Amino acid sequence: MNGYQNVLRVTIMGLVILEVTVANPFYTDKWAVHVEGGERVARSLADKYGFVYLDQIMPDYYHFQHRKVAKRSIQPSNYHHKTLASDPNIKWLEQQVAKKRIKRDIHFNDPKWPIMWYLNRGSGLDMNVSHAWRMGYTGRGVVVTILDDGIEKDHPDLAKNYDHDASYDVNGHDHDPQPRYDYSNENRHGTRCAGEVAAQADNGVCNVGVAFNARIGGVRMLDGDVTDSVEAQSLSLNPQHIDIYSASWGPDDDGRTVDGPATLARKAFYDGITKGRDGKGSIFVWASGNGGRDGDNCNCDGYTNSIYTLSISSVTENGNIPWYSEACSSTLATTYSSGSGGEKQIVTTDLRRGCTENHTGTSASAPLAAGLIALGLEANPRLTWRDMQHIVVETAKPYRLKASDWVTNGVGKNVSHSFGFGLMDAGSIAALARNWTTVPAQHICEIRSPDHNRIIPTNGKITVPLYTNSCQGSASHVKYLEHVQARITMTSSRRGEIQIFLTSPAGTKSTLLAKRVRDTSREGFNNWAFMTTHNWGEFAEGTWFLEIENGASSFRPVRLRDWVLVLYGTERHPWKKKIPARPGRAPPTRMPIIKYPSHKPYTTRPSTTSTKNTNNWPSNRKIWPLYRKYWNPFLQNPASKSSTYARHKSHHAPHPAHMCVYETLAKKSNISALQYIRMIRPNLTAGKNYAELKEWTLVVMGTGTHPMKDNHTPTINTGHAFTCAGIKSNGICIECKPGYFKLGDGCVAHCPQHYFGSVEAVRLVSPNQANHSRPLVRTQGICAPCHSSCLTCRQARMEDCFQCSDGYERKNNLCQKKMIWDFLDPDVMKHLAWAIILCIGAIILFSVLFGLLQARDHRKLCWSAKRFYIPDLAKGHYNGVSRTSHDDPENLSESGSSRSSGSARTVSTDSQERV
CA distance 512 to 506: 17
Question: Do 548 and 456 meet the contact criterion of CB atoms below 8 Å apart?
Answer: yes
Question: Do 131 and 205 meet the contact criterion of CB atoms below 8 Å apart?
Answer: no
Question: Do 254 and 217 meet the contact criterion of CB atoms below 8 Å apart?
Answer: no
User: Which member of 66, 80, 189, 787 is catalytic?
Assistant: 189
Q: Which residues pair with 531 in a beta bridge?
A: 485
User: Which member of 246, 314, 338, 363 is catalytic?
Assistant: 363
Residue 883 burial (CB < 10 Å; 0-12/13-18/19+)?
middle
Cα 345 to Cα 89, 337, 339, 387: the distances in Å are 62, 6, 7, 31
DSSP string, 530-555: EEE-TTTT-B--EEEEEEEEE-TT-S
Residue 590 backbone phi and psi in degrees, to 5? -95, 135
User: Which member of 29, 110, 126, 148 is catalytic?
Assistant: 148
Could you count the other beta carbons within 10 Å of the beta carbon of residue 376? Answer: 31
Q: Which residues pair with 890 in a beta bridge?
A: none
For residue 363, indicate whether it is catalytic.
yes
Q: What's the one-letter identity of residue 556?
A: R
H-type alpha helices, 154-290: 189-198, 228-235, 263-275
Q: Which helix (H) or strand (E) holds 31?
A: strand 26-35
414: region left, alpha or beta (phi > 0 left; psi from -120 to 50 alpha): beta
Residues 6 or more apart in contact with residue 273 via CB below 8 angstroms: 281, 282, 284, 308, 385
Q: Which helix (H) or strand (E) holds 448?
A: strand 443-448
CA distance 262 to 442: 24
Cα 912 to Cα 371, 907, 909: the distances in Å are 106, 9, 5
H-type alpha helices, 92-247: 117-120, 129-134, 189-198, 228-235
Q: Provide the 8-state DSSP code for 149.
A: B
Question: Do 906 and 869 meet the contact criterion of CB atoms below 8 Å apart?
Answer: no
CA distance 750 to 507: 7
Question: Do 181 and 222 meet the contact criterion of CB atoms below 8 Å apart?
Answer: no
Closest to 243 in 3D by CA, of 173, 357, 140 = 140
| Count of helix runs (H) and strand runs (E) in the chain | 16, 43
Residue 442 burial (CB < 10 Å; 0-12/13-18/19+)?
middle
Q: What's the one-letter identity of residue 649?
A: K
CA distance 61 to 84: 14
DSSP string, 878-906: ETTEEPPTT--HHHHHHTHHHHHHHHHHH
Kindly calculate the radius of gyration of the chain based on its CA atoms and give it in whole angstroms. 42
CA distance 184 to 111: 25
Q: What's the one-letter identity of residue 637?
A: N
Beginning with the edge strand found earlier in the chain, give each strand of the sheet holding 61-65 in spatial order.
52-58, 61-65, 26-35, 90-98
Closest to 146 in 3D by CA, of 302, 347, 287 = 287
Q: Is 252 helix (H, G, I), strand (E, B) or coil?
A: coil
CA distance 305 to 235: 16
Which residues are known catalytic residues?
A: 148, 189, 363
